[in-house]
């Protein structure tokens, strides 16, 4: 296999190829011959490291043999750590001892999984299992429109709810397109885009204004309780409670998209933290510790509108509830239930990281805001406060990407794309955090000296 030219390439503000990766670059070249762009999702190609061959605990290994302390964690899907023995053994046992894909009836694993999920998610009376967060969200939107007979959906600028047409708009929008029509893809019908209207996170008045502009037309408000797809914007309690009150008053559903916050921040998701119960909850990512699985749960009278219960809302998917996904979910969620110290530990390590980064930024005279919750953390290169997407329009994207790129080059894997968050898993240690902060101190000092970070 020929080794390609390793000259650095630039994608937006991201300079790549700074670390020589002959084996990884060769795999990248091979992939491009048979996979569009050499990657199966748009955010996977970051240059070096190009390809990975191993993962264990808190570490991943690239094709050239370099080990990285992993803070990307597959966009947060890896919660306990890579190749966690409890989860892997459960999957192996399911493959060995349980029926494979039959596509009819029900299995014991599916029942056990649903019983477990409804016992730990506060708002869940019934649950269905699908394969991806995008699917779960699409089902929730269809359900909301069926139940209310209304066409419109409210989402917030900067939140991401998967690739389905109804929500594929207004994520990380540039200033000139923020709050206007900003689709994530070509090929979406204008009517579908226009059926989703945009509000500002942490701004209840912006939601009220949409209800006034579209009386009795809004089926649901969908919310990432913490918009982790733009880092970690933290909601005020007043905002979350206000959404619950407003949607009830207006006859709409409130959907919590807990695909990222679910199981990561507490066993019952962020709704357990804030004490606000949505009508429907989508969840995924961390529930299978890296195995493909997601789900949708809610009140019984809503969930029984699915045609599986004789209702009129389609629920379909041959792989729904398959043995691998079910076994991984049962093992992961049971482990979290039986080890409540997991949350104390990851929250403590996350807070140590956030405090340490804040001190390093101040020490180097860099204007920035450290944010995060539980085991998540990120640095916005913008002066506080950071409450909503309007504040993120001031973020220095070049500094954000440079910090993540240089940390990755030092062996600490942080996705070098603005505004991607970082995750502490159950396999990270106190020593890992201290080593990371030592490296971050050196990187931030370099960036300050080179004029690559905004100054106080």
Question: For this structure, is 28 an active site residue?
Answer: no
Contact 432, 58 (CB under 8 A): yes
The residue among 179, 176, 182, 168 whose CA lies nearest residue 201 is 179
Contact 215, 148 (CB under 8 A): no
The residue among 56, 45, 46, 1 whose CA lies nearest residue 23 is 1
Contact 417, 401 (CB under 8 A): yes
Distance CA 283, CA 260 (A): 7
Cis peptide before 385 (omega within 30 of 0): yes
Tell me which of 257, 391, 396, 432 is the catalytic residue: 257
Contact 453, 366 (CB under 8 A): yes
Tell me which of 50, 68, 71, 160 is the catalytic residue: 160
Tell me which of 285, 343, 380, 410 is the catalytic residue: 285
The radius of gyration computed from the CA coordinates of the chain, to the nearest angstrom, equals 22
Cβ-proximal residues to 438 (8 Å cutoff; 6+ apart), any chain: none
* The two structure tokens encoding residue 147: 């139940």
Question: For this structure, is 285 an active site residue?
Answer: yes
Place of tokens 């140590």: 352
Place of tokens 């600490």: 412
Region of 118 (left: φ > 0; alpha: ψ -120 to 50; beta: rest) is alpha
Place of tokens 């969620």: 333
Q: Catalytic residue positions?
A: 160, 257, 285
């Amino acid at each position: 296999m020929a080794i390609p030219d390793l000259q650095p390439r630039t994608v937006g503000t991201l300079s790549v190829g700074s670390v020589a990766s002959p084996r990884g670059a060769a795999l990248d070249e091979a992939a491009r011959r048979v996979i569009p762009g050499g990657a199966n999702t748009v955010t996977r190609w970051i240059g070096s490291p190009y390809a990975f061959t191993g993962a264990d605990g808190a570490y991943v290994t690239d094709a050239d043999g370099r080990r990285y302390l992993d803070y990307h964690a597959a966009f947060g899907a890896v919660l306990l750590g890579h190749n966690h023995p409890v989860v892997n053994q459960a999957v192996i046992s399911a493959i060995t001892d349980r029926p494979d894909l039959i596509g009819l009836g029900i299995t014991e694993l599916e029942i056990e999984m649903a019983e477990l999920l409804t016992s730990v998610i506060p708002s869940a009376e019934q649950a269905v299992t699908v394969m991806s967060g995008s699917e779960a969200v699409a089902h929730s939107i269809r359900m909301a429109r069926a139940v209310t007979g209304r066409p419109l959906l409210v989402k917030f600028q900067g939140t991401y709810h998967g690739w389905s047409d109804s929500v594929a708009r207004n994520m990380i929008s540039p200033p000139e397109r923020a709050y206007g029509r900003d689709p994530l893809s070509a090929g979406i019908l204008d009517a579908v885009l226009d059926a989703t209207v945009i509000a500002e996170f942490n701004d209840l008045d912006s939601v009220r204004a949409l209800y006034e502009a579209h009386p009795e037309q809004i089926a649901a408000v969908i919310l990432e309780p913490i918009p982790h797809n733009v880092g970690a914007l933290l909601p005020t309690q007043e905002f979350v409670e206000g959404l619950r009150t407003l949607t009830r008053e207006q006859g709409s559903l409130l959907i919590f998209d807990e695909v990222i916050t679910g199981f990561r921040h507490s066993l019952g998701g962020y709704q357990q933290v804030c004490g606000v119960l949505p009508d429907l909850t989508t969840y995924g990512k961390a529930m299978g510790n890296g195995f493909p699985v997601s789900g949708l749960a809610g009140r019984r009278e809503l969930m029984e509108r699915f045609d599986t219960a004789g209702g009129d809302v389609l629920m379909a998917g041959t792989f729904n509830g398959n043995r691998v996904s079910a076994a991984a979910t049962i093992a992961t969620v049971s482990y979290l239930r039986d080890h409540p110290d997991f949350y104390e530990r990851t929250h403590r390590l996350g807070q140590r990281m956030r405090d340490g980064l804040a001190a390093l930024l101040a020490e180097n005279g860099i204007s920035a805001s450290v944010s995060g919750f539980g085991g998540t953390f990120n640095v916005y290169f913008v002066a506080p406060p950071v409450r909503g997407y309007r504040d993120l329009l001031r973020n220095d994207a070049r500094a954000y990407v440079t910090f993540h790129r240089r940390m990755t080059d030092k062996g600490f894997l942080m996705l070098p794309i603005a505004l991607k968050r970082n995750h502490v898993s159950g396999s990270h240690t106190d020593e890992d955090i201290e080593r990371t902060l030592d490296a971050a101190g050196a990187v931030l000092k370099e960036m300050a000296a080179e004029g690559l970070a905004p100054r106080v």
